[in-house]
């Protein structure tokens, strides 16, 4: 009799504990431990009740009055309650293991250090929807961040259902994440641990680094929204947290607190005073980005000679790295060297009409020269600019491989942060509005600016190789695939079918 009363009390207690575990989170969300303890005790009560009443349930189920299924209903309800509680506890507190091939769902040691040092709340808004191609990548990555610290909140917003909010954050393309604090915000278009962690570091900094574009020598316009302008590059830098400014001429004042100066294809020579200011800026540890087109004015040749750099004549031609079946001067570069800027590159860079860069080690003895992007062995520099169908002329043209993007670091400074840095790219069109949205171009430009602004060293996370490795064929491989898939396989299948038909007919 006493055991029966005890079991009845146990059942009532289990029901009350289960209800308490479901109700408490709605009124006291911070008391997660109360919910966990309540549901665990309720689960113990139900299991104990089920064990003690097992024979009674079995005997009760054999009676004629219960043959219509009442016993099954009771058993299903009891087992269902156990399963629901177990799933509830597993969803909230189940341990997680990463069995992926590349540990894709495990954050790096550097990221854990950054998350532990966060001192202010950070909100991450992802403008995407479940049908978007990058939705799952953002969800898996950012959910992992949010689980590690309470200072990060993640919200997924469908820009089609909330267009006002998308307009407020100037969202121009889907799958865009906005990382923001009350004072700063940065936009991301890639679900990369390196990008997200660096964004967290940038938005929690107290100051913004300045990027200055010189515009008084016929350079490309920073506010120009035409295909030849740089307005998209400006917007991308602003979303990355930089203070972007355009000035007509270089002065000593602008060189003091500027993280980076950009010269985008100047068309007229720089005055001697500006050359002097630029030289002084570099001597004091400044950073310079030069985008120099072929056929343009060699406005910075006097500057580059001090670094041992020669801006090559002609236009680079590469049959192997050309863009599909287009012009051999429109290059799709896939060959990169080991450098902080290009280490994580997995997609090619599109450089329409480029010039090459040469370096003299004797003249540039104070500079460390690193080639960032190179053409293939079959490339050359075409000196006959009027030739619409370039052909290699060994007497006039220069045989490849050729460097079309390079980084220089001054070796006379004692520390890396105080060293002058220069990046020279023999093409400026890749950063213009007409080509900037090409994935490789955007990454290359932003990573170059980050390295020059001394932000590339904030977090250096080795990228995880994806289990799926896409194959991007060059023109020769495209022709081989076309022949094999479109001609050889159909003809071979037709031949086999005809052979079988002929053999059966002879039977």
Taking Cα atoms as reference points, which of 146, 264, 182, 286 lies closest to residue 215? 264
Which neighbouring-strand residues pair with 261?
Answer: 212, 288
Kindly state the average pLDDT of the residues 263-277. Answer: 85
Which neighbouring-strand residues pair with 497?
Answer: none
The more confident residue out of 205 and 250 is 250
Which pLDDT does position 422 carry in this prediction? 92
Does 102 have pLDDT greater than 60?
no
Does 69 have pLDDT greater than 50?
yes
Which neighbouring-strand residues pair with 317?
Answer: 380
The more confident residue out of 179 and 111 is 179
What is the chain's mean pLDDT, rounded? 79
Which pLDDT does position 425 carry in this prediction? 92
Does 266 have pLDDT greater than 80?
yes
Which range has the top average pLDDT, 237-241, 460-464, 470-474?
A: 237-241
In this prediction the pTM is: 0.62
- Three-state DSSP class for 405? strand
Does 484 have pLDDT greater than 90?
no
Contact 351, 331 (CB under 8 A): yes
Phi, psi of 332 (to 5 degrees): -115, 90
Q: Is the dihedral of CA 238, 241, 243, 246 positive or negative?
A: negative
Kindly state the average pLDDT of the residues 406-414. Answer: 84
Query: Which secondary-structure segment (H or E) carries 185?
Result: strand 185-188
The more confident residue out of 464 and 72 is 72
Which pLDDT does position 376 carry in this prediction? 85
How far, in whole angstroms, is CA 298 from its chain's centroid?
Answer: 35
Q: Is 47 exposed, middle or buried (0-12, 13-18, 19+ CB in 10 A)?
A: middle
Which residues are within 8 A (CB) of 330 and not within 5 positions of it... i.e. 6 or more apart? 322, 323, 350, 351, 352, 353
Q: Outline where 209-351 has alpha helix (H).
A: 231-239, 272-283, 301-306
Does 460 have pLDDT greater than 50?
no
Contact 16, 81 (CB under 8 A): no
Give the pLDDT band of residue 459 (cuts 50, 70, 90).
very low
Residue 268 has a CB neighbour count (10 Å cut-off) of 11
Rounding to the nearest 10 degrees, give the CA dihedral for residues 114, 115, 120, 121: 140
Phi, psi of 247 (to 5 degrees): -130, 145
Q: Which of 39-43, 141-145, 368-372 has the lowest mean pLDDT?
A: 39-43
Task: Give the span between the Cα atoms of 244 and 132, in whole angstroms.
Answer: 31
User: Is the N-terminal amide bond of 401 cis, ω within 30° of 0?
Assistant: yes
- Three-state DSSP class for 127? strand
**63 is written with which tokens?**
């009676």
Which residues are within 8 A (CB) of 141 and not within 5 positions of it... i.e. 6 or more apart? 191, 192, 193, 196
**320 is written with which tokens?**
């192997």
Bin 413: left if φ > 0, else alpha if -120 < ψ < 50, else beta.
Answer: beta
Kindly state the average pLDDT of the residues 348-369. Answer: 87
Which pLDDT does position 30 carry in this prediction? 62
Instruction: Give the rounded percent of residues in the chain with a pLDDT score beyond 70.
Output: 80
Structural domains present in the chain: 2-93 (no CATH), 117-185 (3.40.30.10), 208-452 (3.40.50.880)
Which residues are within 8 A (CB) of 239 and not within 5 positions of it... i.e. 6 or more apart? 170, 185, 186, 187
Which pLDDT does position 24 carry in this prediction? 72
- Three-state DSSP class for 135? helix
Which residues are within 8 A (CB) of 31 and not within 5 positions of it... i.e. 6 or more apart? 24, 25
Kindly state the average pLDDT of the residues 80-96. Answer: 68
Contact 283, 255 (CB under 8 A): no
The more confident residue out of 368 and 73 is 368
């Amino acid at each position: 009799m006493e055991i029966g009363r005890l079991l009845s009390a146990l059942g009532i207690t289990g029901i009350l504990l289960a209800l308490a575990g479901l109700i408490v989170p709605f009124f006291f969300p911070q008391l997660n431990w109360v919910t966990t303890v309540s549901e665990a005790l309720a689960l113990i009560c139900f299991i104990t009740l089920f064990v003690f009443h097992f024979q009674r349930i079995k005997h009760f189920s054999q009676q004629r009055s219960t043959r219509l299924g009442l016993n099954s209903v009771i058993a299903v309800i009891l087992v269902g309650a156990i399963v629901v509680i177990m799933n509830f506890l597993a969803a909230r507190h189940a341990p997680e293991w990463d069995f992926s091939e590349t540990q894709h769902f495990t954050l790096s040691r550097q990221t854990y250090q950054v998350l532990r040092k966060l001192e202010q709340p950070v909100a991450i808004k992802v403008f995407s929807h479940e049908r978007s191609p990058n939705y799952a990548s953002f969800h898996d990555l950012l959910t992992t961040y949010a689980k590690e610290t309470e200072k990060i909140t993640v919200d997924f917003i469908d820009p089609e259902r909330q267009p006002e909010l998308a307009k407020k954050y100037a969202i121009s393309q889907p799958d865009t994440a906005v990382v923001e604090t009350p004072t700063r915000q940065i936009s991301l278009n890639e679900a990369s641990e390196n990008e997200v962690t660096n964004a967290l570091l940038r938005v929690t900094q107290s100051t913004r680094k300045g990027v200055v574009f010189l515009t008084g020598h016929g350079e490309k316009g920073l506010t120009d929204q035409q295909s030849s302008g740089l307005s998209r590059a400006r917007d991308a830098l602003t979303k990355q947290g930089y203070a972007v400014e355009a000035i007509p001429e270089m002065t000593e004042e602008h060189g003091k607190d500027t993280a980076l100066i950009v010269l985008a294809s100047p068309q007229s020579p720089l005055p001697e005073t500006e050359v002097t200011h630029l030289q002084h800026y570099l001597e004091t540890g400044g950073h310079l980005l030069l985008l120099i087109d072929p056929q343009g004015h060699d406005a910075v040749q006097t500057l580059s000679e001090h670094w041992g750099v020669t801006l090559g004549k002609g236009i680079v031609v590469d049959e192997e790295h050309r863009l599909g079946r287009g012009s051999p001067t429109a290059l799709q570069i896939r060959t990169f060297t080991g450098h902080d800027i290009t280490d994580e590159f997995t997609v090619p860079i599109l450089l329409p009409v480029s010039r090459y860069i040469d370096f003299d080690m004797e003249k540039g003895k104070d500079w460390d020269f690193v080639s960032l992007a190179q053409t293939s062995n079959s490339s050359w520099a075409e000196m006959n600019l009027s030739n619409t169908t370039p052909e290699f002329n060994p007497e006039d043209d220069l045989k490849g491989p050729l460097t079309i993007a390079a980084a220089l670091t001054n070796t006379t400074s004692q520390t890396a942060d105080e060293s002058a840095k220069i990046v020279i790219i023999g093409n400026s069109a890749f950063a213009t509005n007409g080509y900037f949205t090409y994935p490789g171009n955007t990454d290359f430009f932003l990573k170059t600016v980050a390295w020059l602004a001394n932000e590339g060293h904030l977090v250096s996370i080795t990228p995880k190789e994806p289990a799926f490795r896409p194959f991007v064929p060059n023109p020769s491989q495209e022709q081989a695939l076309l022949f094999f898939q479109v001609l050889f396989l159909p003809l071979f299948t037709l031949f086999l079918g005809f052979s079988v038909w002929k053999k059966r007919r002879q039977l």
